[in-house]
Amino acid sequence: MAQYESEFTQFMRDWMAAHPEQAAEQQAGRALWWDKAPRPLETIAHDAAARVAVKPYYYDIN
Distance CA 28, CA 26 (A): 5
- Calpha distance 17→13 (Å, rounded): 6
The DSSP call for residue 36 is -
pLDDT reported for residue 37 = 81
Specify whether the backbone of 2 is left (phi greater than 0), alpha (psi in -120 to 50) or beta: beta
pTM confidence score: 0.47
Q: Would you kindly state where each structural domain of the chain is located, as residue ranges?
A: 22-57
- pLDDT digits 0-9 by tens, 4-33: 999 999 999 999 999 999 999 999 888 888
